[in-house]
């Protein structure tokens, strides 16, 4: 959920991410992982964006993982093979505070192989940085501030002034989701307008994902397809496709 939200922000507000990570506002387009022959499962937490001059590779992580340094090397080599000579800026962005040494690892070393990449720990970044750009507003509550709750309140007020309703809904939903890494649910609910989020692409995506998870659990429990359809709002065809995914042998209707 957190990774998908970050990917959405980087994809739809790429100029803001360029201003933050590249130091200049440039037009960026997304590179599909298939262009680097990346396994979609491994690519869930990352996004590749390119301008005419360079490539920006962002890896979002809630918590550190031991395999991250090697993955950065792997992606860099694949990028060199596909886009020879094009500079690649690689950044791992850690979302949730941690004392793990892995969150401070900025290189991969194996015998004579040495590869370096950048690491950003959001809790060390001034929250004031993120309120300068619309696409970075959802990160403000995760940044360094005297009160994450007050920062989320400020973000909600800024987002509330955005005229475009779709942008407003998406940023409000993203702000609520990411704030969950720092704040209690009841605090977030008091500060964020949930009525706006109903129109958010992010909100609908999460809602649909939860609905599918419920349907899968019911299928595994042997519940009749027609009952699952009436309970979840999914069509019988959609449920049968889910049934094929899990190889379930529950009764047909």
Sketch the domain layout of the chain as residue ranges. 2-124, 127-199, 208-246
Average pLDDT of the residues in 61-65: 93
| Neighbouring residues of 28: CB distance < 8 A, sequence distance ≥ 6 | 14, 15, 17, 18, 49, 50, 51, 56
How distant is the alpha carbon of residue 235 from its chain centre?
Answer: 28
- Average pLDDT of the chain to the nearest whole number: 88
Average pLDDT of the residues in 190-213: 72
pLDDT in tens, 123-170: 999 999 999 999 999 999 999 999 999 999 999 999 999 999 889 989
Average pLDDT of the residues in 226-246: 83
Question: Is residue 196 within 8 Å of residue 162, measured between CB atoms?
Answer: no
Beta strands in the chain (DSSP E): 29-31, 46-50, 55-61, 88-94, 107-110, 113-116, 118-121
d(CA 227, CA 219): 10
Identify the three-state secondary structure at position 100: coil
d(CA 168, CA 189): 17
Q: Is the pLDDT of residue 210 over 90?
A: no
State residue 41's pLDDT score: 46
The whole model's pTM is what?
A: 0.80
CA distance between the termini of the chain = 33
State residue 253's pLDDT score: 43
> Residue-wise over 214-227: b if at least 16 C-beta within 10 A, else e?
ebbebbeeebebee
Q: Is the pLDDT of residue 37 over 60?
A: yes
d(CA 202, CA 12): 12
Question: Is residue 125 within 8 Å of residue 107, measured between CB atoms?
Answer: no
State residue 42's pLDDT score: 56
Q: Is the pLDDT of residue 252 over 50?
A: no
d(CA 167, CA 164): 5
């Amino acid at each position: 959920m957190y990774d998908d939200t970050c990917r959405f922000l980087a994809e739809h507000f790429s100029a803001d991410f360029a201003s933050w990570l590249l130091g200049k506002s440039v037009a960026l387009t997304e590179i599909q992982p298939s262009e680097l022959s990346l396994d979609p499962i491994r690519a869930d937490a990352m996004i590749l964006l390119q301008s005419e001059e360079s490539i920006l590779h962002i890896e979002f992580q809630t918590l550190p993982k031991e395999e991250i340094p090697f993955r950065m090397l792997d992606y860099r080599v694949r990028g060199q093979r596909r886009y020879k000579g094009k500079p690649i800026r690689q950044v791992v962005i850690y979302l949730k505070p941690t004392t793990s040494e892995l969150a401070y690892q900025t290189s991969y070393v194996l015998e004579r192989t040495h590869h370096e990449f950048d690491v950003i720990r959001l809790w060390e970044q001034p929250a004031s940085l993120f309120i300068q750009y619309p696409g970075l507003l959802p990160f403000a509550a995760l940044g360094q501030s005297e009160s994450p709750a007050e920062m989320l309140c400020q973000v909600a007020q800024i987002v509330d002034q955005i005229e475009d309703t779709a942008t407003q809904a998406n940023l409000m939903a993203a702000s609520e989701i990411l704030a969950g890494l720092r704040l209690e649910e009841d605090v977030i609910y008091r500060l964020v307008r949930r009525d706006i989020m109903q129109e958010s692409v992010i909100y609908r995506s999460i809602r649909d994902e939860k609905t599918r998870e419920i349907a899968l659990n019911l299928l595994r429990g042997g519940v009749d397809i027609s009952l699952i359809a009436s309970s979840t709002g999914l069509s019988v065809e959609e449920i049968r496709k889910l049934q094929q995914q899990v190889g379930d042998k529950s009764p047909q209707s």
